[in-house]
Structure 1
Amino acid sequence: MIAAVIVACEVGFWVVLAAGLLLRYPGRRPRLGGVVLACVPLVDVVLLVAAAVDLHGGAEFSSVHGLAAAYLGFSLAFGHGVIRWADVRFAHRFAGGPPPAPKPAPGSRARRSALWREWFKVVLAVAIASVVLGLLSFVADADQREAVLRSAGPLWIVVAIWLVAGPLWEAGPRDPQPSRGR
């Protein structure tokens, strides 16, 4: 059951986001669009409640419940940025807003800063997911409590991989610049 709720919440996230942006710009109802966009986190609340009810009802804890916690963490940490990213593009396309800023050039200070900001969002997302798993451990039965808490471990491995593949990779050694004048 919880897997279907995760899929429904993912679809719901994009439907609510699209509805808010369509109301705000092509529909020319900016306040109503803003209210709908503010409801995006409610999708996450539905997911959290569904996972808690499922575990409390005696369901065996599985990686799908852990995925629900990870989804919630990543949605809360990255959701605002996704909404802002989409909003800028909709404003440009439908309301004559300025074009989106170009991506920072590889190797630039702006690019490194952006990668560090994204990595800190990953840390926040996994911290939220870990707290959610801790809370879910209280509604799970005593036999499952340890499995619920242990499921946070792989999420922290994602944090380490993201660190190496993101900001540290970008900050790594560069090819030396060719010398001039020889």
Structure 2
Amino acid sequence: MTIIGWMIVFCEIAFWVVIVLGLMTRYIFKKKQLGIILLALTPLVDLTLLIAAGIDIYRGEVATTAHAIAAVYIGISIAYGKSMIEWADQRFQYYVTKQGEKPRKRYGIEYSKHYFKGWIRHFIAYIIGGGILVGLIFWIDDISRTQALSGVAKIWSIVLGIDLIISITYFIWPPKEKGISSGT
């Protein structure tokens, strides 16, 4: 695995460690301000990865799939970061501190709308990560060094399209609560 590959692993672990520490500080140790500060550090994890990937490419490395995944990771982290923290916060409060509301499952049109909001986040992540990929491709300006970046961008475009189709199907056939029939 390349240095960038290891950086992605490190950043993903660091992202969740910072979130868990922030939630523990906030709810278990009752230091709400410090907890918020720790949670606010999550973008620094992304910045670390972006700097590492940029330095690696600047030094003349051929862009690899790991570099492309770093761009994808940054886009996803920015687009989904707040909602992932809210998701973790709600579950931490309910399952660990035994406070707050129980996370509920969504069904029907509510599920469809929620999934579509997730697709919009996916699209935002695609714009951010894809923008980084395109920026790197133009910055490097050498097709032989950027094939991995182009390949990942193409695959991500297909995945985004498939995700949109899935999102639309949930409006046509919304998920039903188990044990409830459609009446036919």
Normalised-by-shorter TM-score class: 0.7 to 0.9
SS in 1 for 2:28: coil
8 A Cα contact 1:51 1:68, kept in partner: yes
Counterpart of 1:12 in structure 2: which amino acid?
A
SS in 2 for 1:99: coil
| CA offset digits 1:127-168 (Å, max 9, x no partner) | 110111123235435345653355422111110111223x22
Q: What residue number does 1:117 align with?
A: 117
Inter-partner Cα distance in structure 1 for 2:102 and 2:83: 13
Inter-partner Cα distance in structure 1 for 2:68 and 2:138: 14
2:153 is the alignment partner of 1:152: yes
SS in 2 for 1:152: helix
8 A Cα contact 1:137 1:144, kept in partner: no
Instruction: Report the structure, 1 or 2, having the larger helix content.
Output: 2
Task: Tell me the percent identity.
Answer: 31
Structure 1 residues without counterparts, runs of 5 or longer: none
SS in 1 for 2:106: coil
Q: What residue number does 1:66 align with?
A: 68
1:56 to 42, 58, 68: 58
8 A Cα contact 1:12 1:43, kept in partner: yes
Question: Which segment drifts farther, 140-149 or 8-17?
Answer: 140-149
Q: What residue number does 1:137 align with?
A: 137
Residues 96 and 150 of structure 1, relative CA distance in 2, 3 Å threshold:
closer
2:78 to 76, 79, 82: 76
Inter-partner Cα distance in structure 1 for 2:182 and 2:97: 46
Q: What residue number does 1:171 align with?
A: 171
8 A Cα contact 2:25 2:32, kept in partner: yes
SS in 2 for 1:97: coil
Kindly tell me the number of residue pairs found equivalent between the two proteins: 175
8 A Cα contact 1:25 1:94, kept in partner: no
Q: What residue number does 2:163 align with?
A: 162
Inter-partner Cα distance in structure 2 for 1:61 and 1:115: 33
CA shift for structure 1 position 171: 2.2
Counterpart of 1:42 in structure 2: which amino acid?
L
Q: What residue number does 1:15 align with?
A: 17
Structure 2 residues without counterparts, runs of 5 or longer: 175-180
- What TM-score results when the alignment is normalised by the length of structure 2? 0.85
Inter-partner Cα distance in structure 2 for 1:161 and 1:11: 28
| CA offset digits 1:52-75 (Å, max 9, x no partner) | 111001111111111010011111
Inter-partner Cα distance in structure 2 for 1:127 and 1:88: 28
Residues 42 and 71 of structure 1, relative CA distance in 2, 3 Å threshold:
same
Inter-partner Cα distance in structure 1 for 2:173 and 2:12: 39
Inter-partner Cα distance in structure 1 for 2:88 and 2:39: 11
Q: What residue number does 1:32 align with?
A: 34
Counterpart of 1:114 in structure 2: which amino acid?
H
CA shift for structure 1 position 89: 2.0
- RMSD value, Cα: 2.2
Q: What residue number does 2:177 align with?
A: none
